[in-house]
Structure 1
Amino acid sequence: METLTSIIGEINSIVWGPMMLVLILGVGLFLMLGLRLMPILKLGTGFSLLWKGRTSEQGEEKEGEISPFQALMTALSATVGTGNIAGVATAVFLGGPGALFWMWCTALVGMATKYSEAVLAVKYREVDEEGNHVGGPMYYIKNGLGNKWAWLGTVFAVFAAVAAFGIGNTVQSNSVADVIHANFSIPTWVTGVVLMVLVGLVLIGGIKRIGNVAGSLVPIMAIAYLTAGLIVLGINSEAIPAALDMVFTHAFTGTAAEGGFAGAAVWMAIRFGVARGVFSNEAGLGSAPIAHAAAQTKSPVRQGLVAMLGTFIDTLIICSITGLVIITSGEWTSGVSGAALTSAAFASALPGLGNYLIAISLAIFAFTTIIGWSFYGERSIEYLFGVKAVKPYRVLWILAVPLGAVVSLDFIWLVADTLNAMMAIPNLIALALLSPIVFKLTREFFDNKENG
Structure 2
Amino acid sequence: MEFLDRAFGLINDLTWGAALIPFLVVLGCFFTIASGFAQFRYFKRMFRVLSKDGSSADPNKISAREALFVSVGGRVGGGNIAGVAVAITAGGPGAVFWMWAIALVGMCSAMIESILAQVYKETMPGGDFRGGPARAIVHGLGHKYRWLAVIYCICLIGSFSIGFNAFQGNTVAGAAADSLGVPRIATGLVLAAITGFVIFGGIHRIAKAADVIIPVMAIGYIAMALLVIVLNFTSLPAVLVDIFANAFGFREAVSGGMGAAIAQGLRRGLFSNEAGLGSAPNVAATAYVHHPVSQGITQSFSVFIDTILICSCTAFVILLGDVYTPGAADIDGVALTQQSLVSHVGSWAQYYLTAAIFLFSFSSIMYNYYLGENALSFMTDEPMARNILRIAIIGIVLLGAVAPGATAVFAFSDPMMGILAIVNLLALAMLFPIAARVLDDFTRQVRAGVDRPVFCADDFPDLQLDRTSWPEKRPAE
Same fold flag (TM > 0.5): yes
Q: How does 1:294-333 map to 2 (within 5 A)?
A: 294-333=286-325
Q: What RMSD, in angstroms, separates the aligned Cα atoms of the two structures?
A: 1.8
Query: Who is 2:36 aligned against?
Result: 36
Query: Who is 1:369 aligned against?
Result: 364
In terms of fraction of residues, the more helix-rich structure is 1
Q: Which moved more, 1:121-130 or 1:420-429?
A: 121-130
1:47 equivalent to 2:47? Answer: yes
Rounded to whole Å, the distance in 1 between the matches of 2:238 and 2:442 is 44
Task: Evaluate the alpha carbon distance shift between residue 117 and residue 50 of structure 1 in structure 2; reply closer, same or farther with a 3 A threshold.
Answer: farther
Which structure 2 residue ranges, 5 or more long, are not aligned?
450-477
Q: Is the 8 A contact 2:246 2:252 kept in 1?
A: no
Q: Is the 8 A contact 1:56 1:296 kept in 2?
A: yes
Rounded to whole Å, the distance in 1 between the matches of 2:162 and 2:97 is 28
Rounded to whole Å, the distance in 2 between the matches of 1:413 and 1:4 is 13
Q: Which moved more, 1:332-341 or 1:303-312?
A: 332-341
Selected match of 2:94 from 86, 93, 98: 98
**1:81-138: CA deviations, max 9, x gaps?**
1111011111111111111111111100111011111111110011234443110000
Query: Who is 2:245 aligned against?
Result: 249
**1:135-184: CA deviations, max 9, x gaps?**
00001111111123222211111100111234531100100111110000
Task: Evaluate the alpha carbon distance shift between residue 264 and residue 346 of structure 1 in structure 2; reply closer, same or farther with a 3 A threshold.
Answer: farther
Query: Who is 1:165 aligned against?
Result: 161
CA deviation after TM superposition for structure 1 residue 268, in Å = 2.4
Q: How does 1:55-204 map to 2 (within 5 A)?
A: 55-57=55-57, 65-204=61-200
CA deviation after TM superposition for structure 1 residue 414, in Å = 2.1
1:268 equivalent to 2:260? Answer: yes
Query: Who is 1:436 aligned against?
Result: 433
Rounded to whole Å, the distance in 1 between the matches of 2:227 and 2:422 is 40
Paired residue type of 1:321 = C
Rounded to whole Å, the distance in 1 between the matches of 2:14 and 2:201 is 40
Equivalent pairs, count: 444
Task: Evaluate the alpha carbon distance shift between residue 115 and residue 387 of structure 1 in structure 2; reply closer, same or farther with a 3 A threshold.
Answer: farther
Query: Who is 2:419 aligned against?
Result: 422
CA deviation after TM superposition for structure 1 residue 53, in Å = 3.7
Secondary structure of the residue aligned to 1:330 is coil
**1:189-230: CA deviations, max 9, x gaps?**
111110000111111210000000001110111001000011
Query: Who is 2:473 aligned against?
Result: none
Selected match of 1:239 from 224, 235, 242: 235
Paired residue type of 1:79 = R
Q: Is the 8 A contact 1:254 1:264 kept in 2?
A: no
1:348 equivalent to 2:343? Answer: yes
Query: Who is 2:453 aligned against?
Result: none
Rounded to whole Å, the distance in 2 between the matches of 1:191 and 1:53 is 38
Paired residue type of 1:438 = A
Q: Is the 8 A contact 1:166 1:415 kept in 2?
A: no
Rounded to whole Å, the distance in 2 between the matches of 1:400 and 1:2 is 23
Q: Is the 8 A contact 1:55 1:67 kept in 2?
A: yes
Secondary structure of the residue aligned to 2:346 is coil
TM-score, normalising length from structure 2? 0.89
Q: Which moved more, 1:42-51 or 1:152-161?
A: 42-51
Rounded to whole Å, the distance in 2 between the matches of 1:359 and 1:168 is 19
CA deviation after TM superposition for structure 1 residue 11, in Å = 2.6
Query: Who is 2:460 aligned against?
Result: none
Rounded to whole Å, the distance in 1 between the matches of 2:92 and 2:250 is 8
Paired residue type of 1:251 = A
Q: Which moved more, 1:238-247 or 1:22-31?
A: 238-247
Query: Who is 2:213 aligned against?
Result: 217
Rounded to whole Å, the distance in 2 between the matches of 1:342 and 1:379 is 34
Paired residue type of 2:348 = L
Q: Is the 8 A contact 1:80 1:280 kept in 2?
A: yes
Rounded to whole Å, the distance in 2 between the matches of 1:304 and 1:410 is 33
Q: Which moved more, 1:121-130 or 1:72-81?
A: 121-130
CA deviation after TM superposition for structure 1 residue 445, in Å = 1.1
1:398 equivalent to 2:394? Answer: yes
Q: Is the 8 A contact 1:161 1:377 kept in 2?
A: yes
Query: Who is 2:22 aligned against?
Result: 22
CA deviation after TM superposition for structure 1 residue 18, in Å = 4.1
Paired residue type of 2:154 = V
**1:356-380: CA deviations, max 9, x gaps?**
2211111110011001110001111
Task: Evaluate the alpha carbon distance shift between residue 10 and residue 331 of structure 1 in structure 2; reply closer, same or farther with a 3 A threshold.
Answer: farther
Task: Evaluate the alpha carbon distance shift between residue 297 and residue 387 of structure 1 in structure 2; reply closer, same or farther with a 3 A threshold.
Answer: farther
Rounded to whole Å, the distance in 2 between the matches of 1:272 and 1:238 is 28
**1:332-366: CA deviations, max 9, x gaps?**
32521111111011111012122222111111100
**1:234-292: CA deviations, max 9, x gaps?**
222222222212211222328646xxxx6343332222211211111111111111111
Task: Evaluate the alpha carbon distance shift between residue 360 and residue 394 of structure 1 in structure 2; reply closer, same or farther with a 3 A threshold.
Answer: same
Q: Is the 8 A contact 1:232 1:349 kept in 2?
A: yes
Rounded to whole Å, the distance in 1 between the matches of 2:375 and 2:175 is 31
Task: Evaluate the alpha carbon distance shift between residue 234 and residue 263 of structure 1 in structure 2; reply closer, same or farther with a 3 A threshold.
Answer: farther
Q: Is the 8 A contact 2:170 2:407 kept in 1?
A: no
Secondary structure of the residue aligned to 2:324 is helix
Secondary structure of the residue aligned to 1:331 is coil
Q: Which moved more, 1:441-450 or 1:220-229?
A: 441-450
Deviation >4 Å, runs of 4+: 254-257
TM-score, normalising length from structure 1? 0.94
Query: Who is 1:280 aligned against?
Result: 272
Selected match of 1:451 from 448, 453, 458: 448
Secondary structure of the residue aligned to 1:352 is coil
